[in-house]
Amino acid sequence: MARVHPRNLSSELPDHRSSSDHLNEQPHNHDFVKKTSYVDVSRGGGTARAGGGHVRCCYRCGDPGHIIRQCPFPGSTPRFTARRGNQASSNDSVKCDAIEFTSGINRDITKLMSTSSETSTSFEAVKPAFNPLPPNPLVAKIQQKEEELRLRGEEIDILNTRLSKATTELNSCQIKNEEMILDMKKLQEELEKSRKELSYLRDKDEEMNMKWWLLNNEFVETKDELNEKIKELEEANETADSEVMRMKLEIDQWRKAAKAIASVLVEGADICSKTPELESLVLYYSNHAAKRMSLGKMRKALDDCKKATLLDPTFLKVRLTAGNCHLVLGDIDEALRNYKKCLDSGMICLDRRLTIEASAGLQNAEKVASYINKLTELLQHRTFESATTALEVIMEALAISPYSEKLLEMKGEALLVLEKYEEVIQMCEETLTFAEKNCATIDNSKHMSDEDQIRPLKLWRWCLMSRSYFHMAKFDLALAILEKYEQLAPPDSKTQGQSSISSATICKLLRCKNAGNEAFKNKKYREAVGHYSNAIMQKIESKSFTAICLCNRAAALQALGEVTDAIADCNLAIALDGDYMKAISRRAKLHEKIRDYECAAVDFQRLITLLEKKNEKKYVEDLTLARRNLSSMNKHMKKGITLNLYLILGLKGSESSSEIKKAYHKAALRHHPDKAGKFLARSESGLDSHVWKEIFTTIHKDADKLFKIIGEAYAVLSDTNKRFNYNLQDMHDDFGCSFND
């Protein structure tokens, strides 16, 4: 029977520990000097090797250390065989419960071994150090594995405990993480709200800065105006004092003149006789004429000069004053006649100062006459260079004759050729009032009514103003002035030639434009394109009107998805009117639509420059929006986003190669640089070639750039690999994803 481990009495498994482990558990016996670590017992007695020597075993009991004659067990000497590996120490009643013998063994020996203390005592006296044989390896392996299983179970329990604790901590961390996520979302919302508030405050700050700048400018202007008014009041006060003194002198002169008139009319004095009273009257009219001339009342000054001349034909100073009045009014023939009479009088005692003034006046009159002849020739060419030269000559002539109707009309024609329409309108409005005051001469006033005298002055001004409004595309104002002109002008005096316009022409253009606007509002974009095209082809002389129609057509084309055509129309509109802010803004947005952010940024910067020049309150919001858009374009430029090539060719992205090729041929044929603006060429003969040369240069430059973009789009989309890579890049730009080859 196998041996049971004494420390685990409940275990039914045998002890498979080594002999050395059993030896370590043996009580220390100081009687033995040398412990035996291993005993080899032979079957039926014999010798056993222990500690390197030979130990004899008893044939009766099988124990080493004695022979059969020394065996303490009585009885016969039968041979027995102890099973190897099941030997037990017979001298240890605790460690060994029983010894199993083979057949033929006396069972009394067992009883004797288990009950007799004496035998046990004597047996211990002769027993050497004994270790049991090693246990069965398989059972020991099983016991080892079970021990490992027990240890692993304990480890699993410990790990389960730790896992439970870690799970609890993980749940706690997850709860904290969710709380942190909620806090993070709240912080992000607050951050986004703060960003929006900051952006709003920045916009408000820009708006307030702009308002402050405008108010500051208004304050400075108001301050300057007040200072000027204060100076004017001070000067007026000084002038009033001097006027009081002059009035006193005039009163004396009036008294003397009254006496002279009384002597002539009542007493019948001879007019030709130089009486003191007559001389005073002539002097009075002469001084009064000079005074009225200084106040700009030229015609009344001429009336005084004529009265003085009738009283004293030899009084040359009055003729000199009359010549100066005619020269200022532009009556060159009358001015020459008066100056020549002063110089040809033959009076020996002629005042030297009077002679010098008459000679200077004669030279100025002849100079103005030569200027007028030269201007007539220059204005016939109607070119930019000739108009510029004519304007310089006119300014020199107007310095001598500032109120000459003929010179003012020539100035208006020159400004019209130079496309300075606002200056034309301003000049006509400012000079009309003065012209009405000095409209008629003495001779003509007796034969013509006031209305007949004023009519020619109004007609040429209304003609220039209507043409200016027409070129500025302000058709309502042009139509109103034209209606008055056509009512007042006689049939034979209406303007003829290329520069003439009629109310019927303007009405026709307005109908086309208004029809296009109405169709656009009703979302009939293709119909709107047709109306705008019809208006463009009717009259090209008004570049501003053509630019407006082109810009409106671009809006309709954009609504139809024809972005490239819309950009081309905006290019034409901007070439015709470089300051057309709506066309610049629309082209910038179209460039943004095809993701050409560089061109869009250039247009927005150009728009900002124009808005800053306006310096008006109504453009403050537009200026703020343009600056914001410019900042956005600069951010997109840094990202390096590709162009929208499909939109450039008018495609959706799913077309085949043949459809792409067809779309390219259509776009290339329509937007070829040589065909750009070709319909505008027929108006070149009526206007300055220099201006149109610059216009066509700009048109060709923009068309060439657009044509290259179309070619670039086709080069990418027609190639399968390039198109695939472009689609990947386009998806990357749209969704922020990165793709690797």
DSSP line for 24-92? HHSPP-TT-SS--S---PPTTSEEEEETTEEEEE-TTT--BTS-GGG-S--S------PPTT----TT-
CA distances from 658 to 651, 661, 720 (A): 12, 5, 12
- The two counts, helices (H) then strands (E), for the chain are 26, 2
Distance of CA 19 to the CA centre of its chain: 94
Amino acid (one-letter) located at 363: Q
pLDDT at 639: 85
What ranges in 352-404 are assigned the alpha helix state H? 352-381, 384-400
pLDDT at 346: 58
**Whether pTM exceeds 0.75:** no
The tokens of 56 are what? 């004899």
pLDDT at 274: 54
pLDDT at 211: 84
Q: How far apart are CA 623 and CA 615, in angstroms?
A: 10
* Residue pair 439/453 in contact by the 8 Å Cβ criterion: yes
Dihedral sign for Cα 47, 49, 50, 51, please: positive
pLDDT at 631: 92
Q: How far apart are CA 653 and CA 647, in angstroms?
A: 9
* Residue pair 36/51 in contact by the 8 Å Cβ criterion: yes
Amino acid (one-letter) located at 524: K
Give φ, ψ of 126 to 5 degrees.
-105, -5
pLDDT at 96: 36
Give φ, ψ of 53 to 5 degrees.
-105, -175
Q: How far apart are CA 404 and CA 325, in angstroms?
A: 11
In the chain, where the domains are located: 35-129, 299-477, 641-741
Q: Rounded to 5, what percent of the chain is helix, strand, coil?
A: 70, 0, 25
Residues of the chain with pLDDT under 50: 1-53, 76-131, 133, 267, 269, 271-272, 348-349, 441-446, 495-499, 681-686, 737-741
* Residue pair 568/700 in contact by the 8 Å Cβ criterion: no
Axis-axis angle for helices 332-343, 316-329 (nearest 10):
160
Superfamily of domain 641-741: DnaJ domain (1.10.287.110)
pLDDT at 486: 81
pLDDT at 308: 82
pLDDT tens-digit series, residues 15-27? 444 444 444 444 4
pLDDT tens-digit series, residues 513-522? 999 999 999 9
Amino acid (one-letter) located at 523: K
CATH number of 299-477: 1.25.40.10
pLDDT at 655: 85
pLDDT tens-digit series, residues 689-725? 667 788 888 899 999 999 999 999 999 999 889 999 9
